[in-house]
Amino acid sequence: MANPKSKLDWFPVDTRILEDPKVRKLVHKYKVEGFGLLIHVFSRIYLNGYFIKDDIDSFSLDIAYDLGYNDTDDHIAFVKEVIEYMMKINLLDSYSYEYESVFTSRAIQIQFVKSTLRRVPRDKPHWLLTPEEEADARTYMRKREDDSV
């Protein structure tokens, strides 16, 4: 269970998300279902913080159930296939999953830093960002705050 202060209640979706080459590949291959699964996977991860530690079979079953798919092997296999493709095209970090059974990515963690500028936890298991990447994200968000004043 995530610490309530280490999760996100919402996350922004860039209006140009469909221009991202990785997302375009996903949508080209899996159409609207692939895009819906991407948003749901991100929602699940952000609800937990910036990662989920789980095996792919269980994670796929949970997502299939959440989205109202029948509990048939075909539906669960489809969700699993899409998640595996997300790792293949680097929407999710395949190394983190392969070695630690963790679903996350640099992009997820950058957004987490931006969204929790004032409350990033000190203890950050499964963290992928370098100190420089984290500092860049923090600087970007501080500049945005200063520009809006």
Q: Phi/psi of residue 112, each to 5°? A: -60, -45
Give the Cα separation of 20 and 17 in Å (integer): 5
The per-residue pLDDT for range 39-57, each reduced to its tens digit, is 999 999 999 999 999 999 9
- Determine the residue type at 126: H
* Helix, strand, coil percent content, the chain, rounded in steps of 5: 65, 5, 35
Is the model's pLDDT at 64 over the cut of 80?
Answer: yes
pTM, full prediction: 0.78
Tokens 């159930």 locate to: 65
What pLDDT, on a 0 to 100 scale, did the predictor assign at position 134?
Answer: 83
